[in-house]
Structure 1
Amino acid sequence: MSDLSSRSATHRKGTVPLPVWLAAVAVILVAVNLRPGATSVGPVLAEIQSGLGMGSVQAGILTALPGFTFAVVGALAVMVSRRAGIAWTIALGLGVVAAGLLIRSVVASPVLFMILTVLAFAGMAMGNILVPAFIKTHGGTRTALLNSVYGTTLAVGATLPLLVAAPLAGWDSGGWQLSLRVWGLAALAAFVPWILVSVRSRRAVVQTDAGAGATERLRITSSRTAVALCVYFGVQSMHAYVQFGWVPQIYRDAGLEQGHAGLMAATIASLGIAGGLIMPALVARAPGLHFYIAGLATAVAAGYLGLLLAPATMPWMWALLLGIGGFAFPTALALITARSRDPRVTAELSGFCQPVGYLLAAVGPFAIGALHEATGSWTVPLVILIASAAVMAAAGIIAAAPRFVDDQLRRRPA
C-alpha cells in the first residue's frame, strides 16, 4: 500500500470505527435519500403548479431551491457536527428530510410547500457535507469501497424519481402527492436505523484540540489543494445542474420530441451510477490522475461541442459524452476523503468545497438561461460551457496531486 493510502487509512485516536458492513449499510441508507427530494419535483412540476395554484415565478424559485439551500445550510453543517457529532447530525438531517417531504405532500399552500421544501433540503445538506467525514472516520482500508457505495447510491437516488414519478403521478387525481410522499417515507425508513448507528458509533465527532479548531477552520483557504478542489467541485456541479435543467430543452429546440429529449437527460443521469462505481477506486489506486481528470473534462467539452454543431444528428453520442464527463462528481467526492487525513479536516474540506459548488449549481442554470434569452440561441451559452471545461481540468489536476490538505495547513501557522 502506498504511503498516501496507508496514511489516509489511519483512524484518529479516540474514535470507534463501525464494522465496514454496518458503515456501508449506513451510507446506502443516507445516500439514497439525499437527491429524491429534489429530483422528484421536476417530473410533476406542472401537476404541483395546478394542484397548489403555484405561479410560474414560484415554480422557478422552487427549481432553484436545492442549490441555494445546499450552499447556505451546508456551510453550517460542520458547526452543528462539532456539538452533536457526525453521525448524530446526519441522523438529525434524515429526520428533517422525512418531516419536510411528508408534510409538504399534504399541504395546500404554495408558500408552505416551499418552506417545507427548504426544510427537507436543509436536512439533505447536512448529509451532503458530513457523509464524506463519516466515511473517513469509519472507512479505514475500505474508504475507497465506501466512496464507491456512496457515489453509486447518490446516482441511484437521483435517477429513481425520474423513472417512477410518472407511474405514481398517474395513480389518481392526487397522484403527484403520492409521487412526492414516497420519498418522505423512504427517509423516515432510514431515520430509525441511523439513530441506532449514531448510538453504536459512540459520537465519533469532528472535534478539534482546544484553541486550534477556529484557527484551522479559518485557514482552509491557505491550502492550494483545498482551493483547487473547491473550484473543481464547483465547476462540475454547475455543469451537472445546467445539464439537468437545459440539455433537454437544447435537444427539443433542435427538433427532438419531448420523450426523446427526456431520455437523453436520463441517459446522462444514469451514467452517474457507473461513475460512482469506477472513479473512487481509481482515485485510491491510480498512481497519477492527470490523464483521467483531463479525459473527463475533454468528454464534457466534446459533448457540448456536439450539442452546438449537430445536436440532432447523434444525440446519443453527446449524451454519452456528457454522462462520462459527469464522472467528475464522484471523482470530486472521492478526492475530499483522499486528500485529507484527519476526519475533522475532511469535514472542514467538505464544508468548504460543497457549499461553493452548490451555489454555482444554483447560479449556473440561471446564467445560462439568461444568456440564451439575451442572445436568442444556444451558441454563446455552449461556448462558455466548453471554455469552463478547461477551468475544471486545470483545477482538477492541481487538486488530484498526491498531497494532503492537513500538511498544507500545518505549514501555514496563524
Structure 2
Amino acid sequence: MTERRTKWLAIVAIALLALNMRTAVSSFSPLVTFIQDEISLPIVTIGLLGIAAPLAFAIATTMANAPTRKIGVEKTLIATSLLIIGGHALRALSWDSTALFVGSMMCLLGMGIGNILMPVMVRKYFPNRVGLISSFYISLTALSASAGSFLAVPFAELGGWRFSLGQWGLMAALTLLPLIALRKNSTPEKPLPGVIKQKAIWRSPTAWAIFGTQGMTSVFGYVSFAWLPLLLLEHNSVSVAEAGALLSLFAILGLPAALIVPGLAVKYTQLHAPIIWFSSAMGMTGALGILWTDGSHLWVWVGALGLGPTMFPLALTLYNLRSRERSTVLAVSSFGQGMSYTMTTIIVFLVGVFREITGGWEFALWMFFGVALFSALMGIQIAKNHFVDDELVH
C-alpha cells in the first residue's frame, strides 16, 4: 500500500471515528419523554443512564492500553467499532431500562476507547500535522454531539425512539471499512521508556493540569447531556422542543473552538493559558445566567455555557503537544481522560441526587460555576510550557 493511500485511509478512519464519538451520548436525553411512554424511567434511572457516558469513558481508560500494546491501535479500533455497533442495536431493541443501560454502556465503552486512541492515531499517521488533524477530528466530534441532540426528536417523530437510537449504528458500521484496510499497519505500541516508567504518570504536574483542563469540559459536557433538557424544562419553563434545541446549541458551540483552538495551540504556546481562562469565564457566566434568568434571552446564557468547554480541544491537543514520545501520548491520554471521567461520573450522579432531594437545579448550576472557577487555576501550570516526559525523568 502506498504512503499516500495509507494517509487517505487514515484520515477517513479518523473522520468516521470522530463522527461516532458522541452520538450515543447526546441522542438519549432529548428522547426521555418518548421512551417513558413505553419503558419506565424514574428520575433515578435517568440519572444512572446519565452517568453511563462518563462512567464508561473512565472504565475505557483501563481497557485501551493492554490491547493497543498487544495488537496495535488499528485492530483495537476495529473491535471498538464492533462494540459500538452492538450497543446501538441493543439500545434500539431494549425491552426495559436494564437493557437500555447495558446497550448504552456498550456504545460508550467503545467510544471511550476511541477517545483514548484518537490522539495516538493522529501522532502515528500525521506527526507533523498534529494541530490541523486534531482540529479536524475534534470539529467532527463536536458535530457528532450536536447532530445526536438535534436529530434525536425529528428521527423519533419519523420512526419512533427505537429508530432514532438505532440508526446511529449504520455510521459506526462505515468506520470498519478504512480500519480493516489499515489492519496490516496495526503493530503493537511500544511501552513507556524505562526511565519514565520508573515514575508514575501522576507525578507530572503538567499531566495533572491537562486532567484539570479536560475535567472541567467533561463535567460541563456530560452533566449537560444528561440533565440540561430536564433542567431547562423545570427551572426555566421551556418546551420539550426548545430544550432539545438549546441542548443542540450548547453542543454546536464546541465546533468553532474545535476548528480554531488546536491550530492556535500548536502555533502559539503562549495562548494555552488564556484559552483556559476564557473557557472558565464563559462557564461561570453561563451558569449564573441560567440560574438567575427569568426565561428571556435564555439562548444567550446557554450559549455562554456552551463556550465553557472551549478548552476541550486544547486538552486533546495538549496530549500531543506536551508529550515527546507516542508512548507518552497514550499514557497521558489514559491518565487525563480516566481521571476526568471518574470525576465527571461522580458529579453527574450527585446532580441527580440533589435534584431528587431538593426538587430544584440550583446545585447543578452552582456546581458548574465552581468547577469553572477551579479550572482557571490549571492555566498557571499550563503556562509554564513543560513536557510530561521531562517532568518524569528529572
**TM more than 0.5:** yes
Q: Look up the equivalent residue of 1:36 and give its one-letter code.
A: T
Alignment pair present for 1:313 and 2:300: no
> Mean alpha-carbon deviation: is it higher for 394-403 or for 318-327?
394-403
Against the structure 1 CA distance between its residues 178 and 231, is the aligned structure 2 distance closer, same or farther, given a 3 Å change threshold?
Answer: same
Q: Tell me the equivalent position of 1:6.
A: none
Say if 1:24 and 1:149, in contact at 8 Å, map to a contact too: no
Task: Rate the CA distance shift 1:247–1:116 in 2: closer, same or farther, 3 A.
Answer: closer
**Residues 70-126 of structure 1, C-alpha deviations (whole Å, 9 max, x = no match):** 111222211221111112111210111112212442353543343233222221111
Q: Which of 356, 369, 386 is the aligned partner of 1:386?
A: 369
Deviation at 1:373, TM superposition (A): 4.6
Match of residue 184 from structure 1: 169
Query: Residue 361 of structure 1 aligns with which residue?
Result: 344
| In 1: Cα distance, 2:228 partner to 2:50 partner | 15
Q: Structure 2 CA distance, aligned partners of 1:134 and 1:52?
A: 40
Alpha carbons of structure 1 residues 409 and 272: separation in structure 2 relative to 1, 3 Å = same
Corresponding residue of 2:154: 167
Is the 8 Å Cα contact of residues 294 and 397 (structure 1) preserved in structure 2?
no
Q: Is 1:277–2:264 an aligned residue pair? A: no
Between the aligned partners of 1:24 and 1:90, the Cα distance in structure 2 is 14
Task: Tell me, yes or no, if structure 1 residue 256 matches structure 2 residue 243.
Answer: no
Indicate the larger mover: 72-81 or 140-149: 72-81
The more displaced of 285-294 and 145-154 is 285-294
**d(CA) in 1 for partners of 2:210 and 2:16?**
27
Q: 1:301-341: per-residue Cα shift (whole Å, max 9, x none)?
A: 11112223325232122122112222121111111111112
| TM-aligned CA deviation for residue 181 of structure 1 | 1.8
2:101 counterpart residue number = 114
* Aligned equivalents of 1:261, 1:284: Cα separation in 2: 36
- State the 1:354 CA deviation: 0.6
**Is residue 2:389 matched to residue 1:406?**
yes
SS state at 2:253 partner:
helix
Kindly provide the CA deviation profile for residues 272-311 of structure 1, in whole angstroms up to 9, marking residues without a partner as x: 1111111111111114122222111111111112223325
Asked whether the 8 Å contact 2:281–2:372 carries over to 1, the reply is yes
Maintained 8 Å contact 1:229/1:396? no
Change beyond 3 A, Cα 1:226–1:287: closer
Q: State the AA in 1 paired with 2:22.
A: R
Distance 1:146-1:167 versus aligned 2 partners, 3 A rule? same
Deviation at 1:342, TM superposition (A): 1.0
CA shift for structure 1 position 41: 2.0
Q: Does 1:65 align with 2:52?
A: yes
Contact 1:44 1:176 in 2 (8 A): yes
1:94 aligns with 2:81: yes
Structure 1 contact 217–348 (Cα < 8 Å) conserved: no
- Give 1:209 deviation, angstroms: 6.6
Listed one character per residue, the Cα deviations across residues 36-82 of structure 1 (whole Å, up to 9, x for unaligned) are 12222222233334434555544432232111111112222112211
Distance apart, 1:207 and its partner CA: 1.2
Q: Which amino acid aligns with 2:167?
A: V
Does the CA-based 8 Å contact 2:40-2:97 persist in structure 1? yes
Q: Which residue of 2 aligns with 1:41?
A: 28
Aligned partner letter, 1:187: A
| CA distance, structure 1, for counterparts of residue 207 and residue 375 of structure 2 | 14
Change (3 A) 1:251 1:180: closer
Q: Secondary structure at the match of 2:106?
A: helix
Secondary structure in structure 2 of the residue aligned to 1:97: helix
Deviations 1:157-215 (A, max 9, x none): 1111222222322234xx2221122111211121132111232xx224321278x39x6
Report SS of the residue matched to 1:105. Answer: helix
Alignment: residue pair count: 390
| Conserved? CA contact 2:84–2:172, under 8 Å | yes
**Is 2:214 the partner of 1:233?**
yes
Aligned-pair distance for 1:375? 4.8
Please state if 1:194 is matched with 2:174: no
Mark the runs of 5 or more structure 1 residues left unpaired by the alignment: 1-15
Q: Does structure 1 retain, via aligned residues, the 8 Å contact 2:71–2:187?
A: no
- Secondary structure of the structure 1 residue equivalent to 2:238: coil
Match for 1:69: what amino acid? Answer: A
Out of 129, 133, 136, the residue aligned to residue 120 of structure 2 is 133
State the AA in 1 paired with 2:54. G
Is the aligned partner of 1:83 residue 2:78? no
Q: Which residue identity lines up with residue 333 of structure 1 in the other structure?
A: L
Q: Following the alignment from structure 2 to structure 1, what is the Cα–Cα distance between the partners of residues 87 and 353?
A: 31
Deviates more, 1:278-287 or 1:109-118: 109-118
Between 256-265 and 231-240, report the one with greater CA deviation.
256-265
Distance 1:378 1:168, change over 3 A: closer
Over 3 Å counting, the alpha-carbon distance change for 1:382 and 1:180 in structure 2 is closer
Q: TM-score, normalised by structure 2?
A: 0.90
- For 1:286, the equivalent position in structure 2 comes to 268
Cα separation, 2, equivalents of 1:161 and 1:90: 21
Q: 1:314 to 1:170 in 2, by over 3 A?
A: closer
> Secondary structure in 2 aligned to 1:403?
coil
